[in-house]
Amino acid sequence: MQYIKCEYQDNIAVITIDRQEALNALNSQVLQQLHDAFAAINTGEIRCVILTGAGSKAFVAGADITEMSTMSVEEAEAYALKGHKVFCTIENFPVPVIAAVNGFALGGGCELSLACDLRLAGDNAVFGQPEVSLGITAGFGGTQRLPRIIGITKAKEILYTAGRLKAAEALACGLVNAVYPPEELMEQAVKTAKKIAANAPIAVRAAKKAINDGLAADMDTALAIETKLFSACFNTQDQINAMRAFAEKRPPEPFVNK
């Protein structure tokens, strides 16, 4: 694919958006290729995905303003729906997705990071939703995911003022999980991915599904979702082996994803 690079490190996939001449901005072609990249991942083998942007200047600087500038209302709606489809695919991807954010993550780039499970940032990262300064509102989920992650009050401030957050402030308000020197970012992302991959894959996927599905439901329904996913783990070889090893006070065998 022209704008997407996919690499595999054991059971970890690394997806890199590489459109550096436009600071990795998301046009329709990049969105489609990003969707195709995730669709091609074998989740039977891959246990975690790292999503990043090529170069040191930007994770994703935003959606492609040049492309959007001539859109009709109908074309803008179709464009937003395309973004929603891709970002929801990432948000609901069976295995965890880590955003490794280097440089600008503005507009659609910030929204893309919000669709990931974890966000690790270089200390050069800048997050923001500048859409209102361009006469539009966030259209790839920013008005919905940002308040859910950092709270309504701070999200409204960012969305109404076209404000930006540097890495330290993003960490302070809970937008990112950790901040590292840029040259250490991918190393730390891989380290975090390996920690995830070392656990029982079926259990990790169940935890992700319980969180995502439960947040969209009332508490009683959410607890019922958790109960079903919890109990289903007891039908796996990994659960049997791990608990037996614990009872016998010995290290567990490698998880086999069964």
Residues catalogued as catalytic = 111, 131
Strand order in the sheet with 104-106: 58-60, 104-106, 126-128, 164-166
The gap between the terminal CA atoms of the chain, to the nearest Å, is 32
Task: Identify the H or E element spanning 250.
Answer: none
The C-alpha atoms of residue 102 and residue 109 are separated, in whole angstroms, by 11
Radius of gyration over every alpha carbon of the chain, rounded to an integer in angstroms: 19
Contact at 8 Å (CB) between 13 and 7? yes
The C-alpha atoms of residue 175 and residue 121 are separated, in whole angstroms, by 10
- For residue 13, list its beta bridge partners: 8, 49
Contact at 8 Å (CB) between 121 and 142? no
Strands 4-9 and 48-53: unpaired
CA distances from 114 to 159, 190, 242, 252 (A): 14, 19, 33, 34
Strands 4-9 and 12-17: antiparallel
The C-alpha atoms of residue 209 and residue 92 are separated, in whole angstroms, by 8
Return the DSSP state at 15: E
Task: Identify the H or E element spanning 141.
Answer: none
